[in-house]
């Protein structure tokens, strides 16, 4: 280690003028104790500081000592800034195969004026003996878990004891109430029942139910309707071709718009169901179904109210 200023000065004078900037950096590093010069060639082109030096640290120290920015170094060496930063950070996983890494190191070391062979040797030693990572301190959760278990146990025990003593407390309260009643003389006396006043007529009135009082005044089955009236109503039809048959109804009593349903049944099975609107207190409406001649037999149309209650029905026969 260079500790004598005179030896350091003579050491400085050995350098070429082009190397004096690097030599000055080495001088300050050695003289002020920032690091220990352990290896260097005749031009002082390679050094590392104690046992903490790595290839990336060496290259970065030299580049910064020469006041070369990372962008300028990338432009001069034709290497990307990402590769140079990875090299200086010893992030070899971010770089290609080791053969390419050696080429990058040789180029970068030559650019910085270092010995490429020694840099590569340092790299291979570093790969063979990697720097151990700092151990991550693991949090010990055992005291926390034990504390939580203790608190839960204490709360459970408190609840159990309180529930266990509850009947005893209630019995004691009952005894106290009996004693107070005996002292006041109210024990054994009958207390007259309080009779509530009779309900008024308005209170006895039943609640009004909101029911739509609608009814079917007329219902008929016919072959046609004109001017909202059925034409020739009948209950038997002789069909030779598909024929539309109408079911006419006149609805009374609707206090507000509502709906009715016409359910067409053929031999007891639903053939058609249709919903018809009712818009006034007297409303005429109808439904239509095309019946084929082969559907002979008994037909029925059931009229259902707003709540699907049956209002009326009509039967007819197809022959």
pLDDT, one tens digit per residue, over 160-205 is 887 776 665 555 665 555 566 555 554 455 445 455 555 555 454 5
Task: Indicate the Cα dihedral angle 60, 62, 67, 73, nearest 10°.
Answer: -60
Which pLDDT belongs to residue 279? 92
**Spans of the chain below 50 pLDDT:** 1-52, 133-137, 186-187, 190-191, 193, 202, 204, 206-211
**The domain made up of 215-318 is a member of CATH 2.70.50.60:** yes
- pLDDT at position 181: 58
Cα distances from 239 to residues 16, 220, 225, 300, in angstroms, run 126, 18, 18, 17
CA distance 255 to 234: 31
Per the structure block, which two tokens stand in for 21? 């900037």
Task: Give the Cα separation of 222 and 274 in Å (integer).
Answer: 17
The CATH homologous superfamily for domain 5-128 is lambda repressor-like DNA-binding domains (1.10.260.40)
| 115-165 residue pLDDT tens | 999 999 989 988 887 655 444 345 677 888 988 998 999 898 888 887 776
Domain residue extents for the chain = 5-128, 215-318
Residues 6+ apart with CB under 8 A from 274: 261, 262, 287
Handedness of CA 110, 115, 117, 120 (dihedral sign): negative
The three state secondary structure string of the chain is CCCCHHHHHHHHHCCCHHHHHHHHHHHHHHHCCCCCECCCCCCCCCCCEHHHCCHHHHHHHHHHHCCCCHHHHHHHHCCCHHHHHHHHCCCHHHCCCHHHHHHHHHHHHHHHCCCHHHHHHHHHHHHHCCCCCCCCCCCCCHHHHHHHHHHHHHHHHHHHHHHHHHHHHHHHHHHHHHHHHHHHCCCCCCCCCCCCCCCCHHHHCCCCCCCCCCEEEEEEEECEEECCEEECCCCEECCCCCEEEEEEEEEECCCCCEEEEEEEEECCEEEEEEEEEECCCEEEEEEEEEECCCCCEEEEEEEECCCCCEEEEEEEEEC
Looking at residue 142, its pLDDT comes to 81
Identify the pLDDT of residue 25: 46
């Amino acid at each position: 280690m260079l500790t004598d200023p005179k030896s350091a000065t003579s050491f400085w004078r050995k350098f070429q003028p082009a190397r004096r900037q690097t030599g000055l950096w080495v001088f300050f590093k050695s003289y002020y104790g920032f690091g220990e010069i352990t290896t260097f060639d005749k031009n002082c082109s390679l050094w590392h500081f104690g046992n903490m030096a790595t290839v990336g640290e060496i290259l970065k120290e030299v580049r910064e000592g020469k006041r070369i920015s990372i962008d300028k170094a990338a432009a001069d060496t034709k290497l990307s800034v990402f590769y140079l930063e990875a090299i200086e950070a010893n992030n070899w996983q971010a770089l290609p195969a080791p053969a390419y890494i050696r080429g990058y190191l040789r180029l970068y070391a030559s650019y910085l004026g270092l010995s490429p062979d020694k840099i590569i040797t340092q790299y291979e030693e570093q790969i063979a003996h990697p720097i151990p990572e700092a151990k991550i301190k693991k949090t010990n959760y055992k005291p926390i878990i034990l504390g939580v278990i203790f608190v839960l146990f204490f709360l459970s025990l408190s609840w159990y004891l309180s529930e266990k003593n509850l009947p005893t407390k209630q019995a004691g309260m009952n005894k106290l109430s009996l004693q107070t009643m005996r002292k006041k003389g109210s024990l054994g006396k009958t207390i007259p029942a309080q009779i509530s006043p009779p309900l008024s007529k308005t209170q006895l009135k039943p609640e009004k139910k909101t029911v739509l009082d609608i009814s079917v005044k007329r219902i008929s089955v016919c072959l046609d309707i004109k001017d909202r009236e059925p034409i020739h109503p009948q209950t038997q039809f002789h069909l030779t071709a598909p024929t539309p048959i109408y079911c006419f109804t006149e609805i009374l009593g609707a206090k507000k718009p509502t709906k009715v349903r016409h359910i067409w049944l053929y031999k007891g099975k639903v053939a058609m169901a249709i919903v018809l609107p009712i818009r006034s207190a007297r409303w005429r409406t109808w439904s239509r179904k095309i019946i084929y001649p082969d559907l002979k037999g008994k037909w029925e149309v059931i009229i259902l109210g707003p709540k699907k209650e049956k209002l009326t029905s009509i039967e007819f026969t197809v022959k």
